Amino acid sequence: MQIKTLIVPGLIALASSTAFGFSNGAPVMRTGAEVDGGLDCTACHRTFAPANSDPRGKLWITTLADYKPGVKQTVKVQIQHPEANRWGYQLTARLASNPARKAGTFTAVANVTRVQCAGGAPEGNCGDNLEFAEQTQPASFAGQGGGASWEIEWTPPAAGSGDVIFYFAGNAANNSNSNAGDYIYTRSAKIGEDGACNLTDTPRITGLQNGASFWPGPVSFNSIVAVFGTGFQRAGGTSNGGEYLNDQTFPKKAGCVAVEVNGTRAPIAYAQFNQINAQLPTNTPQTGSTQVRVIANPGQTNERRSDPFTIQVASAAPGFFRLLPTPCIAAIKVDTGEISGDPSLLDFAKPSKAGDVVSLFATGLGATDPIWQAGEIAEGPSRAAGNITLEFNGQPVDRANILYIGLVPGAISGLYQINMRIPNSNIRPNAHNELRIRIGTDILSPEGSTLYIAPN
Ligand code: HEC
């Protein structure tokens, strides 16, 4: 399971030449795309550089799940920031198979959308040159608080073009008519081509396990699971759901496969030939059993459905992510940001000791407050709602040492984080200390996940 952070480090670079009204559209090639040299608006708007440095703001796009070749659609760019009151963006569309090439065309709309071209081509008429859609001066919404959104007309490329990547940057500005004091964000997102899936095998499910502990017992709604089997992708093919975020939500199809749980599509985090990591839908039953299918080429005439696979479900089914193949729980030392673990097993890890605060990662901890739908990004602290205790070597950890149990802000809503101060009592130095999660009285995470404690 890849825990993908959404914060991408930006680049600080010197401004380039061309001078014109920037609130009326920035110079081209400033979305942060590596293929364009990696520059973004922080080349000039440097106060809070690098891009994405302020987690209070966010930038995202909404499109159709798949584009229809040649059929015009809207791409909506949205930005929010609690302090900003003027806004701007730049958006470019490229072929995923060759990001140096444009994918489709944007339409300029008077007073709303400018379309600037690379290579000196006239504005709004780029020909084969790269295109960059941007806000016009009136569409910078001077004085408007909270956020802004723009609907950009985009005509996708011809059939057979495959996945498209949008690279985009946004400016949450302070309406100073200058390049100072503005927050810059950059992102990218892929979309697929409608009707282009051609997986040839019929998928077959052989197992479904907690995606953190790989325990084969029951699994619970909103938790991350690993589905095992065959025919999920072409040999060697992989697909990363986090690259297809649309409207801040993980996709219900990635790499041409979908997972259906009790008839509901599950958001997909990752897919390869023999494994899919998915998040169980929020409406998954909480007792008894239910059925899962994997569907290749979903929704197309060449759709192929696996036989149903029966799983046991529960109201919670906790498990820690581990640094496999070791028993070490995936943990970060909060004061230094280092990975906590046994350095004799993991040369990059540092041992923790009593008094250290660690963040531990898990899934399956049940309902949260607020609750997020499966596939959504938790936008802020969201505490686990159940009665959860931790047990170190079989003894409960004092409540005062448990600082937070809930979702990881900014991550998929099935990823939980526990912030704990390592207690002085019930731990053994220079040893692996078993840690378990108890929910209510009866639900326990599996044995064998440990926190290594440093020698005295
Ligand atoms: C080459 C330097 C440069 C780059 C790169 C640049 N800007 Fe600017 N920007 C400026 C300057 C100078 C101003 C102030 C003059 C003006 O408002 O036109 C400005 C002003 C703005 C404003 C109004 C700010 C306010 O507080 O009133 C917005 C919005 C804006 N830019 C958006 C962007 C976006 C979005 C990008 C990246 C895609 C970007 N700019 C990249 C130089 C730049």
Nearest Cα residue to atom 14 of ligand 1:
178
Per DSSP, the three-state class of 350 is: strand
The two domains 34-193 and 204-314 share their CATH topology (first three levels equal): yes
Q: Is the CB of 169 under 6 A from ligand 1?
A: yes
Write down the pLDDT at residue 16: 31
Instruction: Please tell me the CATH superfamily of domain 34-193, with its number.
Output: Reeler domain (2.60.40.4060)
Beta bridge partners, 397, equal: none
The two three-digit tokens of residue 153, written as one number: 């007309």
How many whole angstroms from 33 Cα to the centroid of ligand 1? 18
The first and second tokens of residue 356, run together, are 């250290």
d(CA 198, CA 300): 9
One pLDDT digit (tens) per residue for the chain, 456 residues? 333 332 222 222 223 333 345 677 789 999 999 999 999 999 999 999 999 999 999 999 999 999 999 999 999 999 999 999 999 999 999 999 999 999 999 999 999 999 999 998 989 889 999 999 999 999 999 999 999 999 999 999 999 999 999 999 999 999 999 999 999 999 999 999 999 999 999 999 999 999 999 988 899 999 999 999 999 999 889 999 999 999 999 999 999 999 999 999 999 999 999 999 999 999 999 999 999 999 999 999 999 999 999 999 999 999 999 999 999 999 999 999 999 999 999 999 999 999 999 999 999 999 999 999 999 999 989 999 999 999 999 999 999 999 999 999 999 999 999 999 999 988 999 999 999 999 999 999 999 999 999 988
Instruction: Establish whether residue 58 lines the binding site of ligand 1, counting it when its CB lies within 6 angstroms of any ligand atom.
Output: no
Distance from the CA of 24 to the center of ligand 1, in angstroms?
8
d(C-alpha 96, C-alpha 326), whole Å? 36
Q: Which of 14, 22, 113 to mutate to test the pocket of ligand 1 (most atoms within 8 A of CB)?
A: 22
Would the CB of 116 count as within 6 Å of ligand 1? no
Answer whether 42 contacts ligand 1 (Cβ < 6 A).
no
Which amino acid is it at 163? Answer: D
Residue 64 CA: distances (Å) to CA of 104, 154, 203, 294: 15, 11, 26, 22
The DSSP bridge pattern shows strands 66-67 and 183-193 to be parallel
**Cβ atoms < 10 Å from Cβ of 235:** 8
Residue whose CA lies nearest to ligand 1 atom number 12: 179
CB of 171 sitting under 6 A from ligand 1: yes
pLDDT recorded at residue 17 = 30
d(Cα 446, Cα 438) in Å, to the nearest integer? 10
**Fold held by 204-314:** Immunoglobulin-like (2.60.40)
User: What phi and psi values does residue 26 have, to the nearest 5 degrees?
Assistant: -85, 170
CA–CA dist 151, 106 (Å, integer):
11
The predicted pLDDT at position 26 comes to: 85
The pLDDT of residue 11 is 25
- pLDDT, residue 448, reads 95
- What is the DSSP code string of 362-399? EE----EES---TTBBP-S--EE-S-EEEEETTEEPPG
Element containing residue 331 per DSSP (H, E): strand 331-333
* CA angle in degrees (0–180, nearest 5) for 265-413-287: 60
Atom of ligand 1 nearest to the CA of 140: 29
- Report the helix count and the strand count for the chain, using DSSP H and E: 0, 35
Q: Report, in angstroms and rounded to the nearest whole number, the Rg of the chain calculated over CA atoms.
A: 24
Report how far ligand 1's centroid is from the alpha carbon of 185 (Å): 13
pLDDT computed for residue 426 by the predictor: 87
What is d(CA 143, CA 32) in angstroms, rounded to the nearest whole number? 26
Taking the domains of the chain in order of start, what are their residue ranges?
34-193, 204-314, 319-453
Q: Is the peptide bond before 50 cis (omega within 30 degrees of 0)?
A: yes
Three-state SS letters, 142-184:
CCCCCEEEEEEEEECCCCCCCCEEEEEEEEEECCCCCCCCCEE
